[in-house]
Structure 1
């Protein structure tokens, strides 16, 4: 790196050391719980979805999910002449377990890239913000796509982080399969679109409204009327529905206006509809945002910055113990996005 970049790098290292209260960031150090909370708060500011769900810090590496939503019957009375009043826990444990394991977020910046950015006054914030945002997006993506936990992950093969951690969808698949729709009348397929009445090209759901309504019906009776239920829909399904709406109503000014104003994406199956980053394009999830959590273990966030001249770069090592949690399994329902087929009217075929 050139002289100016070296000065900037030294200033960045000194600023990090001051921020985290350590003498030397080139030696592995543990982030304090208070700084950990600051990092969580800063990350939520960058990604709206993370601000909607829970990021919970826990002291134990494993245990039973906290269960933040209040539910059940707490009103009643007791004949105190015979028995004492017995309080009930409105946030009783759901029975879902968590196990926070080490997850690394290791990155590097080449000297050449650092030389290109070093002249900018906000050099330090550019580096920190870009990495922080990418870590946040990775967390979300693994939450939707994660299926296993490999000892050594392979990002070239599993480009969406499928082998990093088991995410929310995988936990629903394994722990509450009755709330996970994997196929319709055709084995291994969930068909959405007009199709052809009867025969090999029959459909399961003519539109998204019908499918979302069916998914909603899988929610446990205890939660089916909760006002915080939402549906998260993949961008490909929304695009498919919007294209169909254009085709049917695009020449009607009032209807075209609704499309442009995104009103057609407002509700499906009677639920508020949302798009989230890194969500499967053909996915559908019905739940509440407060039912989705990321657990991070206190005292396990560790960092180190290393000048690596052997490779003309600066390495940054960061790790923490974390896990994905569905607070109440019965309050979530989803479809197998891998099995969704859409009807192509032009070719009269499913794809």
Structure 2
């Protein structure tokens, strides 16, 4: 690392130390409440999906969902002239999902030669700070959909999507409301989407619309018609449906224009459809964005930054926080077991 770069890195570490009221930011320190809110704000800005869901701090490491958002019928009328008293209704009278904020580490490094390469650029501190932030936040989303367990020692090779880092929202359904998880069709362990045939077997849902409608049908009655429901759909399913549409209407100019304008994937099963980064390619999740939460325990964020590692020619950055993926209203979420989905392609199920 060049002398100019060393000075810039030292200045960056000093700035972080000042912001958090510590003497040396290269040694582990607890992030202040103000800095925690700044990190949360950066998370929201890094990805449109994180901007739509709840990201909140909680006091206790273990507890039950806060019940953010309101669902169900509150409106009523009481004839007080007849001596009846008006009665309030709970805005959260459903079964609460338990949560446990598990420590999650986001440790990274930046090579000396990389630092030297952008030492001449303006905003050096911001470059270092943001170098891995976007990927860290993308990881949080992926774990939220794929996470199934919390292993003491994670194995990235065996679990490339962070399956063993933390329990995500899909696992929250499996553990707390398994009836809302569609996991099989006519064939055990398979959910077939497409026409099929008599020889290879017929599909459970002839198209994606029907699949989404059936997933929506697993919602609790009190939530089934909520106006903020959406369908989050995997890219393989969207591509499959889009390819079928091209095959049927691709030569019709007006229909082809609709595809290019992405109007074709605008709604499925009567719900607005979204493709979320990090979402399973064959997954379907019906809920509202505000029914999904990421809880961060207060005072749990710890960092050390710009720690020189001359043996590896890099600076090391360590960050950890206690996190939990929470479903606010269990009755307001339903999904398909994405690993069980089979698509009708080239005359067979894949």
TM-score band by shorter chain is: over 0.9
| Secondary structure at 2:103 match in 1 | strand
Aligned to 1:134: 135
Once the 2 structures are TM-superposed, how far is the Cα of residue 112 of structure 1 from its aligned partner?
2.0
| Secondary structure at 1:102 match in 2 | strand
Once the 2 structures are TM-superposed, how far is the Cα of residue 93 of structure 1 from its aligned partner?
6.1
Once the 2 structures are TM-superposed, how far is the Cα of residue 94 of structure 1 from its aligned partner?
3.6
Residues 17 and 25, structure 1, Cα contact 8 Å, conserved in 2: yes
| Secondary structure at 2:201 match in 1 | coil
Once the 2 structures are TM-superposed, how far is the Cα of residue 25 of structure 1 from its aligned partner?
0.2
Residues 185 and 204, structure 1, Cα contact 8 Å, conserved in 2: yes
Once the 2 structures are TM-superposed, how far is the Cα of residue 84 of structure 1 from its aligned partner?
6.9
Q: Aligned Cα RMSD in Å?
A: 1.8
Once the 2 structures are TM-superposed, how far is the Cα of residue 277 of structure 1 from its aligned partner?
0.9
**1:331 counterpart = 2:332:** yes
Residues 212 and 269, structure 1, Cα contact 8 Å, conserved in 2: yes
Task: Name structure 2 gaps, 5 residues minimum.
Answer: none
Aligned to 1:321: 322
**CA–CA distance in 1 between the matches of 2:70 and 2:321?**
29
Show the 5 A alignment for 1:268-283.
268-283=268-283
Show the 5 A alignment for 1:285-296.
285-296=285-296
Once the 2 structures are TM-superposed, how far is the Cα of residue 48 of structure 1 from its aligned partner?
0.4
Residues 17 and 25, structure 2, Cα contact 8 Å, conserved in 1: yes
**CA–CA distance in 2 between the matches of 1:78 and 1:303?**
59
1:79-116 superposed Cα distances (whole Å, 9 cap, x missing partner): 69988765443134642111112111111112122222
| Secondary structure at 1:263 match in 2 | coil
Residues 67 and 94, structure 1, Cα contact 8 Å, conserved in 2: no
Aligned to 1:187: 188
Higher mean C-alpha displacement, 76-85 vs 328-337: 76-85
The change in CA–CA distance for 1:270 and 1:84 in structure 2 (over 3 A counts) is: closer
**CA–CA distance in 2 between the matches of 1:159 and 1:215?**
27
**CA–CA distance in 2 between the matches of 1:134 and 1:162?**
17
Aligned to 1:2: 2
Q: What is the TM-score with the length of structure 2 in the denominator?
A: 0.95
Aligned to 1:348: 347
Aligned to 1:43: 43
Once the 2 structures are TM-superposed, how far is the Cα of residue 155 of structure 1 from its aligned partner?
1.2
Aligned to 2:237: 237
1:111-133 superposed Cα distances (whole Å, 9 cap, x missing partner): 12222222222222122123211
Aligned to 1:15: 15
Show the 5 A alignment for 1:171-182.
171-182=172-183
**1:115 counterpart = 2:124:** no
1:284-332 superposed Cα distances (whole Å, 9 cap, x missing partner): 0000001100000111111112211122211111111110001111111
What is the aligned length? 348
**CA–CA distance in 2 between the matches of 1:4 and 1:215?**
58
**CA–CA distance in 2 between the matches of 1:61 and 1:80?**
49
Q: What is the TM-score with the length of structure 1 in the denominator?
A: 0.94
**CA–CA distance in 1 between the matches of 2:5 and 2:27?**
21
**CA–CA distance in 1 between the matches of 2:12 and 2:175?**
45
| Secondary structure at 1:342 match in 2 | strand
Task: Name structure 1 gaps, 5 residues minimum.
Answer: none
**CA–CA distance in 2 between the matches of 1:93 and 1:80?**
32
